[in-house]
Amino acid sequence: VFAKVTQGPPDAILGITEAFKTDSFAEKINLGVGAYRDDAGKPYVLPSVKEAELRLVQQMLDKEYAGITGVPAFTKLAATLAYSPESKAITEDRLMITQSISGTGALRIGGEFLARWYPHGKTIYVPSPTWANHGAVFRDSGLEVKSYRYYDQKTISLDIDGLLDDLSSIPKKSMVLLHACAHNPTGVDPTPDQWKMIAEVMKKNELFPFFDMAYQGFASGDADKDAFALRYFVEQDFELVLAQSFAKNMGLYGERVGAFSLVTASPEEKKRVDSQIKIVVRPLYSNPPVHGARIASEIMGDEKLNAQWLGEVKGMADRIIAMRSLLRENLEKLGSSRSWTHITSQIGMFCYSGLTPEQVDDLRFKHSVYLTRDGRISMAGVTTKNVTRLAESIYAVTE
């Protein structure tokens, strides 16, 4: 029956983990997937998450289905985390929100909904480069995906002129994907002033913002600061949509906790949108899993636990910053003739190293160091124990 099924390529990001697992070298290093590790290289379950789970177990909750749009306590708190409790989208009752299967699921609900209901075409513009999965998610949703300039390889920084140029010249009312903070894969974000310029151009060209916020808290260590762009666009009266993930900032990767929200024009419009989101979700997965959403709402709904969690997010962000300095120092100590300043100037979980696909292959096959072929290094996999060997390996393939 399946004789004609062809072999597909491994996933650009998750395929790296698969390859890593088959490597028997004891000192192998996985810098592929964006998943936080502690300084011992081990997955990190946040103490606030452990505490929330203990409380949940003690409550002996039932396992009934959530509604189609998820656990209401969770979605309410997810909305205030992203938009702030004072957001006019919330106080004016114009915000529709549904739980999702983490960030990817949120993007997919958004893609499906916009493919059906966005009235001004089916094209979404994504930054170049962008997260390796964005194109596939949107194309499978029925959208056409094009790109706008974002990153300048020569200056290793934001190509703000190219970006503004492209956003002013693409067809009016197109949809535009924006990484709210900690851009994946480049680690390069617009400054608040640049965000204001982006908003102005988008207003002028009547573009529709689709925010992806997978790393709230990871860019600056401060969840409010990281939500600046999203909140600014809402203040500027944009209608917009948002995909949120709790994979990274709560370390809830496998629990698949996320949310998709839309800022609509009125409470009445919100109701109609809500009915259509349910029609998108029901045939996809019926309703979302409850456990992870309960963990997240237990944390966000308790002032003390919430403060503890925000401190833990900052702790993760700070460890990554420390590893950036160490990696750069080690490369400079080895006498590398290249500039590695971008390792410390970039933010969030990733370093967009500038390594070529061939150098990435050398790292993998000669040094058992695994990263994606675009040269993205997940800094979360760097530790005080492996940073010296990592620097030596990078030095060896770049000199």
Pairing of strands 257-263, 240-245: antiparallel
CB of 33 to ligand LMR, least distance (A): 4
CB of 88 to ligand LMR, least distance (A): 31
Q: Which residues pair with 15 in a beta bridge?
A: none
Query: CA–CA distance from 256 to each of 99, 105, 163, 244, 295 (Å)?
Result: 10, 9, 32, 11, 11
Contact 294, 301 (CB under 8 A): no
Gap between the Cα atoms of 38 and 135, Å rounded: 31
Task: For ligand LMR, give the closer residue by CB, 118 or 151.
Answer: 151
Residue 212 annotated in active site: yes
Which residue type, as a one-letter code, is found at position 284?
L
Smallest distance from ligand LMR to CB 184, Å: 5
Q: Is the peptide bond before 190 cis (omega within 30 degrees of 0)?
A: no
Least Å distance between CB 213 and ligand LMR? Answer: 12
Residue 34's SS3 state is coil
For ligand LMR, give the closer residue by CB, 19 or 265. Answer: 19
Would you tell me the crossing angle of helices 102-117 and 267-285 to the nearest 10 degrees? 120
Site residues (CB under 6 A) for ligand LMR, limited to 14-33: 33
Q: How far is the CB of 197 from ligand LMR (least distance, A)?
A: 27
Q: What is the number of the residue whose Cβ is closest to ligand LMR? A: 34
* Terminal alpha carbon distance of the chain: 51
3-state secondary structure of 398: helix
CB of 120 to ligand LMR, least distance (A): 29
* Cβ atoms of residues 78 and 103 within 8 Å: no
- Which among 159, 189, 212, 362 is annotated as catalytic? 212
Residue 381: both structure tokens together: 């996999």
Measured distance CA(317)–CA(349) in Å, rounded: 8
Task: Tell whether residue 105 is a contact of ligand LMR (CB under 6 A).
Answer: no
Rounded distance between C-alpha atoms, residue 274 and residue 95, angstroms: 10
13 or 273, CB closer to ligand LMR?
A: 13
Is 248 marked active-site? yes
Among 29, 34, 241, 355, binds ligand LMR (CB under 6 A): 34
**Among residues 17, 80, 84, 133, the one that binds ligand LMR under rule CB under 6 A:** 133
Query: Contacts with ligand LMR in 165-204 (CB under 6 A)?
Result: 184
Determine which one of 159, 189, 226, 248 is catalytic: 248
Interface map 217-256 toward ligand LMR (x if CB under 6 A): ----------------------------------------
What phi, psi does 267 have (nearest 5°)? -60, -35
Closest CB to ligand LMR among 87 and 216?
A: 216
Percent helix / strand / coil, the chain, rounded to 5? 45, 15, 35
What Rg, from alpha-carbon coordinates, does the chain have?
21
CA distance 133 to 348: 18
The residue count of the chain comes to 399
Q: Which residue number, 8 or 335, has a Cβ lying nearer to ligand LMR?
A: 8
In the complex with ligand LMR, which residue's Cβ is closer, 209 or 258?
Answer: 258
- When the beta carbons of 186 and 297 are compared against ligand LMR, the nearer one is 186
Which residue in 44, 125, 131, 370 binds ligand LMR (CB under 6 A)? 131
Q: Closest distance between ligand LMR and the C-beta of residue 350, in Å?
A: 8
So which residues are the catalytic ones? 131, 212, 248
Binding residues vs ligand LMR (CB under 6 A):
13, 33-34, 131, 133, 184
